[in-house]
Structure 1
Amino acid sequence: MVAVTRGRRRLSLLVPGLLDGSWGAREAGLARHGAACINRVLARATSHPFPGGGLEAVLFALFGIEPDPDIDLPVAAVSRVADTGDVDPGWWLRADPVHLRPDQDRVLLFAGPGLGVRAEEARALVQALNEHFADRNLRFEAPVAGRWYLRLSVPPGVCTAPLAAVAGRDIHRHLPAGESARRWRGLLNEVQMLLHGHPVNGDRERAGAPAINGVWFWGGGCIPKPPAPQWACVWAEDSTARGLARLAGTALEAPPPDGQRWLQGAGAGEHLVVLTQVYDPAVSGDWPAWGQAVSWMGQAWFAPLERALRRARLSALDVLPGDGRRYRVTAARLLRFWRRGLG
């Protein structure tokens, strides 16, 4: 754990998906008790534009690497550092396992923890891909069952869409674009045909699990210039956040279960906490689960952080929901509202 020291303590709390589903949460009957504290903190915050929309773009911006809309962020190369410990200088693409489901004139993509890809399944499917593409100098690897990678000898010549932007949606609006788009769209089809008939998928379908019948290419690039250290500690399970922290030489911890325990363990300085419990249901459109996660987030994190601000145990809180804005609350600002009887 980070040593606790005296001094000013500021927290940037990245909670992607927090504001994504207001309408969905109402439909799901979100209990307002958990959300009340979140609403109160945001209502007392000053709001400013912040680069990036979505988890990965905000993370890179927090480490001083602003996104360029015309090229991919090198998510694959960075997250692979966290997944393998290897800082490889070459070109990498994420090639994450997905389930593709035809739906009339659309093809819907499903991904993430809900697929339940097992390590032995990932190994077998990646082996089949490597055998099939061996003569084209394409090498797949699966250091984590649900995160696959593709090593390239040259830049791919395409711009891709992040997996989170495609999950639950029709893939046709999000296919690779650029000078080599035709080649990469063809590769997606070729992979789909190869995986469709693999014995792993026969076993999964008999067990009632969705077939892993495709991959999604995204996040291509090389390791960026190491970001300058700016955080006392990064608290995250997310692989991109952990990769950026390691490249920056920043202290790295897993997030504690709640804000109270974070306050007990965090020392002075600027801290970054990345919480993704709200993100996965927001991406998949599971609004009942999203509502439950928001309720938990309010009680487990926002309530103790609000108390810490009022008691000057935390000098400032920045909330980043990934909506293109930063919401900042300082102890002094919250205290002014509280003294007026609005808290």
Structure 2
Amino acid sequence: MAHITLVLPFALPLPEFAPDLVRAMNTPALSSLLSRTSHVTRARVAESTHALPHETWLARALGLGAEGRLDVAVAAMRGFGLDPEGGTWYIVSPGHIQIARTHLTMADTRQVPLSDDDSRALFAAAADLCEDIGHALRYGDAHTWFLRADDWTGFETASPDTVVNMDLTDFMPKGQPALAYRRLQNEVQMAWHAHPVNAARETRRLPVVNAFWVWGAGSTAPAPGQPLASVAVPGWLGALGEQRPGSLDRLDGLLATDRTLVVGTLAESAQASDWGVWLQEMAQLETTLFAPLLAAVKAGRVGKLHLVLSSREGLLEATTSAMAQRKFWRSPSLDLLK
């Protein structure tokens, strides 16, 4: 019997929306999974955190960070087949910064489509500037690059998903290397401002790539533990696992052995506060994920199912099993989501 940990970022509605959203949900399998449990814990996260709850949970579970840090760069590099060469590396996320009325915000990278060709062209321009000041830049995928900066110690940064749609003033990188980072950012921004890729993107009415975000410093990576698989997650997170299926169509294969499964299909709608789409995606997960999981638990094919659900503000963990599902006196309910 397999032991499965399912991580669902943004499956917890924000408290102010939760009552209405829960009433609108039609997810009986999820209701059973959350009601007939053997263990439940809930935690709230301080507003000053520089990583989202599911990110810190995964980093801790994978041995890639503690106390809110995400030391994921080197492990992600190896997932992309890159050699970290014993250095200290940061993840570089190219993106779009926009000017609000009183502050700057960063767009969700999921809403900034970036082809491999466009990304590699922008990467080449940035790599030259990085090499000029002694920092190597390596390419992982269109949204995931890596910067070597062995001398950037004490650099406090936040994950890109943490800063999406937030006032960037509260999250700008801090520490002694911050000035060097801002100088490099300015140089790259100037090179990208007149770049043919961005001119073409403007013509196609796509967001220009006008900035990059540096985060996730790491210099070592532990040996892999329980296998990790992921669906619809950012490139850096997918690179930490050994499987990245394009969909949940072959869920039975993922449930055959002990593993952690991260499903990120709710992230874009939750980040955009598009709760109508979020409800539609929850309904789809009921069919493709929750109902098959419940059946596998009841049949004993999954011996223990550990659910990790998160929002920007908190984390819910619940454990169920075939024995727990026999607690018929517990009526199926989504009250834990409130």
Query: Normalization by structure 1: what TM-score?
Result: 0.82
Amino acid paired to 2:33: V
Could you say which residue in structure 2 is the equivalent of 1:328? Answer: 319
Q: Is the 8 A contact 1:137 1:153 kept in 2?
A: no
Could you say which residue in structure 2 is the equivalent of 1:42? Answer: 34
Could you say which residue in structure 2 is the equivalent of 1:67? Answer: 66
Cα 1:264–1:244 shift into 2, 3 Å: closer
Describe the SS at the equivalent of 2:327.
Answer: helix
Describe the SS at the equivalent of 1:77.
Answer: helix
Which deviates further from its counterpart, 60-69 or 153-162? Answer: 60-69
Which deviates further from its counterpart, 293-302 or 153-162? Answer: 153-162
Describe the SS at the equivalent of 2:280.
Answer: helix
What does residue range 249-268 of structure 1 map to in structure 2 within 5 Å?
252-255=242-245, 257-258=247-248, 261-263=250-252, 266-268=255-257
Could you say which residue in structure 1 is the equivalent of 2:299? Answer: 311
Tell me the distance in 2 between the aligned counterparts of 1:141 and 1:65: 20
Could you say which residue in structure 1 is the equivalent of 2:6? Answer: 13
Tell me the distance in 2 between the aligned counterparts of 1:127 and 1:195: 11
Could you say which residue in structure 2 is the equivalent of 1:4? Answer: none
Describe the SS at the equivalent of 2:80.
Answer: helix
Cα 1:257–1:130 shift into 2, 3 Å: closer
- Residue 267 of structure 1 and its aligned partner are, at CA, apart by 3.1
Amino acid paired to 1:273: L
- Residue 42 of structure 1 and its aligned partner are, at CA, apart by 1.5
Tell me the distance in 2 between the aligned counterparts of 1:125 and 1:264: 38
- Residue 85 of structure 1 and its aligned partner are, at CA, apart by 4.6
Which deviates further from its counterpart, 207-216 or 303-312? Answer: 303-312
Cα 1:342–1:263 shift into 2, 3 Å: same
Could you say which residue in structure 1 is the equivalent of 2:229? Answer: 235
Q: 1:292 aligns with which of 262, 271, 280?
A: 280
Which deviates further from its counterpart, 47-56 or 291-300? Answer: 47-56
Q: 1:205 aligns with which of 195, 202, 205?
A: 202
Tell me the distance in 1 between the aligned counterparts of 2:209 and 2:52: 28
Tell me the distance in 1 between the aligned counterparts of 2:282 and 2:60: 24
Tell me the distance in 2 between the aligned counterparts of 1:256 and 1:143: 18
Q: Is the 8 A contact 1:30 1:292 kept in 2?
A: no
- Residue 162 of structure 1 and its aligned partner are, at CA, apart by 0.6
Could you say which residue in structure 2 is the equivalent of 1:249? Answer: none
Tell me the distance in 1 between the aligned counterparts of 2:135 and 2:82: 21
Q: Deviations over 1:127-171 (max 9, x none)?
A: 111223332112323331111221224234311011000112221
Percent identity between the two aligned chains: 23
Tell me the distance in 2 between the aligned counterparts of 1:113 and 1:274: 17
Cα 1:212–1:290 shift into 2, 3 Å: same
Consecutive unaligned residues in structure 1, runs of 5 or more:
1-7, 246-251
Amino acid paired to 1:275: V
Consecutive unaligned residues in structure 2, runs of 5 or more:
46-50, 333-338
- Residue 209 of structure 1 and its aligned partner are, at CA, apart by 0.5
Tell me the distance in 2 between the aligned counterparts of 1:198 and 1:129: 11
Q: Deviations over 1:101-149 (max 9, x none)?
A: 1112211111323211111211211111122333211232333111122
Query: Are 1:123 and 2:123 counterparts?
Result: no
Q: Deviations over 1:202-239 (max 9, x none)?
A: 11011100110000111112123335x3x2x4322554
Describe the SS at the equivalent of 1:84.
Answer: coil
Q: Deviations over 1:229-277 (max 9, x none)?
A: 3x2x4322554555445xxxxxx33348448x43356435x32111111
Tell me the distance in 2 between the aligned counterparts of 1:128 and 1:161: 25
- Residue 299 of structure 1 and its aligned partner are, at CA, apart by 2.0
Which deviates further from its counterpart, 316-325 or 24-33? Answer: 24-33
Q: Deviations over 1:286-343 (max 9, x none)?
A: 3333222222112211112112222333221111123334211121111122xx3835
Amino acid paired to 1:167: V
Describe the SS at the equivalent of 2:95.
Answer: strand
Q: Is the 8 A contact 1:59 1:241 kept in 2?
A: no
Which deviates further from its counterpart, 272-281 or 23-32? Answer: 23-32
Q: Is the 8 A contact 2:13 2:21 kept in 1?
A: no
Amino acid paired to 1:324: L
- Residue 31 of structure 1 and its aligned partner are, at CA, apart by 4.9
Describe the SS at the equivalent of 1:321.
Answer: strand
Describe the SS at the equivalent of 1:253.
Answer: coil
Q: Is the 8 A contact 1:21 1:282 kept in 2?
A: no
Tell me the distance in 1 between the aligned counterparts of 2:155 and 2:7: 29
Q: Is the 8 A contact 1:316 1:329 kept in 2?
A: yes
Would you say how many aligned residue pairs link Structure 1 and Structure 2?
320
- Residue 280 of structure 1 and its aligned partner are, at CA, apart by 3.0
Aligned-CA RMSD value: 2.9
